[in-house]
Structure 1
């Protein structure tokens, strides 16, 4: 069914947009709005890089050509100059004033920042007045006297001040780079050096020195600085990184590195868990003026999967890490007794001289005749001399049930009962005893049983006794009484 409307016939009862009849006629306002929309949507400058060859592209090319032609038609002739106004050149005082007020490179004659020339009202002074007192700072380098002379103090007075300081502190103890606060007084003429009125500096962490002038003479005042030597104790949880956790807790970098080296001798770092706790104590000196100096690691503790408690003990030139009971253990690998290749390892083999299969109780080193043989670690010479098939033989006792033997020597240079240190020469390679050529036969015993030298990590045990043990326990009690930070 179709309905008649003003625009023709329209399908009734549906949603179809089909219409029959003539096209609708728009009113004047509608036509104006339609043309305005077309003009606004019309692209005057289409992109010549897109849709090449389309109708919009050709229209844009025509617009560009028309604009270029308009510029060409309106441009002046190519050889006709464009006139402009040129300022008159400056000379004389006008040029000087312009240079002083303008910005420019000094290399091109610029005088930026310079003042204008003085006028006739300015009267020059015969003598420039000096400051009555000059305050200066100097850095200690070659000595007190040279630092004062560089500041302007006379040589005689500088040496006098240096002598006063040397009477209180050894000049060798003064740290280069120390800051000197110097006050110079008035002088009679510019040709004379200024007198020293005051000198102050920190000679040591616990001592400050001051030189003042009283009645024409210099006097030295020493001001001791109170120092608190209570150690710094830091505890914390290991977490993801032991190093970062200790540094975040306030431990100095060198102390943390020493802590890790000390603890890793007993517990590999790979076995330290995140829930383990670290405990370290560091030397600390806190001055009354607020400065703090941190020193060496004194205590290293670790609790968790494995407990470690080590105390640093120094007696004279000897420094050891001991447990709180005074028992220490130094971990390390024994050095090779001779610089040579291994010709025969520990185990069963056919004896090169006897010709039958037997256990080779050590290692053979194919070294040249006369090569030096060294002790693999510290010990005592248990025996030194001829020992059957071993020829010239040396046995060293290292304590803790460990001993080493060195056979087939050409010459022995140690005596039974003497002490030897690691790396000390005890003899020379030879071919004595049951031997087919110059070499060193090296053995290692643990509780009297031969073991493979490759499989043993050597340990030296130290036990404190007597008065030293009493002092050590007193030292440990003082450390354990320090409160954690």
Structure 2
């Protein structure tokens, strides 16, 4: 035991005194060695910063030190070797079948392992796989499709398709509406080389009729289920906001009705002149079934009350087999603009020009419309076909007399769809765009004749006016008054008849 040096060395005993004396005798040598080591370490920097003084002697010394330490670490690193294990025993075929029959891998993974349960004496091989007793399908009639093609795609045999069409052909004269759902059940077939028979078919033939076909005693029979339909026209009124289209749609008008309304109004006034605060009035055909399904028909009435400018009251009416729009006074007006007998852009105007084939300047007696090959060509107004056939540089050519000394000509057709002496109406297809005759590409050369001489087609506009009178005018005004008195929105006639109709549409 040692005591503090303040108490004196003699108090520590003989042993302490001897140790202190020897320590004092040996202390100068290690102290000199440490001093020299500190002086050498200050002069030689063993671990310099390799990011500074690059290329100097000190930097290379630090680099060698780094490499040396890395080499020593790799040299002294322990070696890792795999530990050998005893291989598993090889099972015989009998032992493997026994283990395979007891394992659950095929059951757990749905036979993804490719192995099967071991068979027993009770297992017998099947001569053929069993079939389902019936197959339930849901098909749908596509656009530009027929009921027969939809049934054939679903797997119904040709004989059953013919039977179905014979039973329901009278109920779908106009075809089945695209998107109609078909609920089909195919039964058990007699043999594998024969198609499955149609056991049941249910679909919506029309808005007011559902049809269900079932097989009884090997024969198909149809059961027709009538559906009540309310065909009261739909009336929508409102005030024009920043857009007449958005205002009418917000009021509940169907898109088809709004588009037809704008087309009718545009023939009377400039749509850009319709201002906020004007009131619109729309009446359209609207059929509503008690199941909630609806069909939007044609526009019947278009009204527009303007704060400034002409107000509009237009009613669709059929006169002499032709449906036209008539004003409230009973005057109907149809305009036929002669500048668009085909859907395309005008590529060459009326007047002198250099002929692209003949190579010299001569009179271009019409206007050209660039259009795709095969595009339909329409008669610009009513008339009688005076000529249809080959006509020199015009190629396939049709000429129509319209009365009053006016006639129109249509050249370079690929195919003619009119015959001489035929009476045609405005918008009727009389041929198709081609490049026959003196032509460099598919287009329509359109001409207008006045008393046999060609004139600029853009300078003439046909206007046909019809006037109602007598009993027909009275019936027209009665129908107009009926639409004006029609309540706005839907009419819950189902509730009045004791049924539950769908919710009323918002105004």
TM-score (normalizing by structure 2): 0.51
SS in 1 for 2:451: strand
Quote the Cα distance in structure 1 between the aligned partners of 2:149 and 2:455: 63
Asked if the contact 1:378/1:420 (under 8 Å) is kept, the reply is yes
Given the superposition, is the C-alpha separation of residues 460 and 428 from structure 1 closer, same or farther in structure 2, using an over 3 Å criterion?
closer
Q: How does 1:327-406 map to 2 (within 5 A)?
A: 327-330=331-334, 340-341=350-351
Asked if the contact 1:230/1:285 (under 8 Å) is kept, the reply is yes
Given the superposition, is the C-alpha separation of residues 70 and 113 from structure 1 closer, same or farther in structure 2, using an over 3 Å criterion?
farther
Quote the Cα distance in structure 2 between the aligned partners of 1:112 and 1:82: 45
More off after superposition, 259-268 vs 64-73: 64-73
Quote the Cα distance in structure 2 between the aligned partners of 1:421 and 1:220: 43
Quote the offset at 1:292 in angstroms. 0.9
Asked if the contact 2:406/2:451 (under 8 Å) is kept, the reply is no
Quote the offset at 1:120 in angstroms. 1.5
TM-score (normalizing by structure 1): 0.53
1:73 aligned onto 2:73 = no
Q: Deviations over 1:402-428 (max 9, x none)?
A: xx999xxxxxxxxxxxx9999875522
Across the aligned residues of Structure 1 and Structure 2, the Cα RMSD in angstroms comes to 5.3
Asked if the contact 1:335/1:377 (under 8 Å) is kept, the reply is no
Q: Deviations over 1:8-34 (max 9, x none)?
A: xxxxxxxxxxxxxxxxxxxxxxxxxxx
Quote the Cα distance in structure 2 between the aligned partners of 1:266 and 1:465: 22
SS in 2 for 1:255: helix
1:313 aligned onto 2:312 = no
Quote the Cα distance in structure 2 between the aligned partners of 1:205 and 1:239: 35
The residue that corresponds to 1:410 in the other structure is none
1:230 aligned onto 2:232 = yes
Quote the Cα distance in structure 1 between the aligned partners of 2:461 and 2:329: 23
Quote the Cα distance in structure 2 between the aligned partners of 1:268 and 1:72: 93
Quote the offset at 1:308 in angstroms. 1.7
Q: Deviations over 1:377-420 (max 9, x none)?
A: 889xxxxxxxxxxxxxxxx999xxxxx999xxxxxxxxxxxx99
SS in 1 for 2:269: coil
State the number of aligned residues: 333
Quote the Cα distance in structure 1 between the aligned partners of 2:220 and 2:424: 59
Quote the offset at 1:214 in angstroms. 2.2
Task: Choose the corresponding residue for 1:159, options 153, 158, 162.
Answer: 162
The residue that corresponds to 2:292 in the other structure is 290
Given the superposition, is the C-alpha separation of residues 119 and 238 from structure 1 closer, same or farther in structure 2, using an over 3 Å criterion?
same
The residue that corresponds to 2:274 in the other structure is 272
Quote the Cα distance in structure 1 between the aligned partners of 2:132 and 2:286: 45
Task: Choose the corresponding residue for 2:112, options 93, 101, 114.
Answer: 114
Quote the offset at 1:153 in angstroms. 4.5
SS in 2 for 1:483: coil
1:253 aligned onto 2:249 = no
Given the superposition, is the C-alpha separation of residues 162 and 370 from structure 1 closer, same or farther in structure 2, using an over 3 Å criterion?
closer
Quote the Cα distance in structure 2 between the aligned partners of 1:176 and 1:149: 16
Task: Choose the corresponding residue for 2:478, options 465, 474, 480.
Answer: 474
Quote the offset at 1:463 in angstroms. 2.1
Quote the Cα distance in structure 2 between the aligned partners of 1:258 and 1:276: 18
Q: Can you give the 5+ residue segments of structure 1 that lack an aligned partner in the other structure? A: 1-57, 102-110, 343-366, 380-395, 399-403, 407-418, 430-438, 443-452
Quote the Cα distance in structure 2 between the aligned partners of 1:68 and 1:198: 91
Asked if the contact 1:143/1:171 (under 8 Å) is kept, the reply is no
Given the superposition, is the C-alpha separation of residues 278 and 70 from structure 1 closer, same or farther in structure 2, using an over 3 Å criterion?
farther
Given the superposition, is the C-alpha separation of residues 252 and 62 from structure 1 closer, same or farther in structure 2, using an over 3 Å criterion?
same
Quote the Cα distance in structure 2 between the aligned partners of 1:229 and 1:71: 96
Q: Deviations over 1:163-190 (max 9, x none)?
A: 2223x33566234664321112234544
Quote the offset at 1:301 in angstroms. 1.4
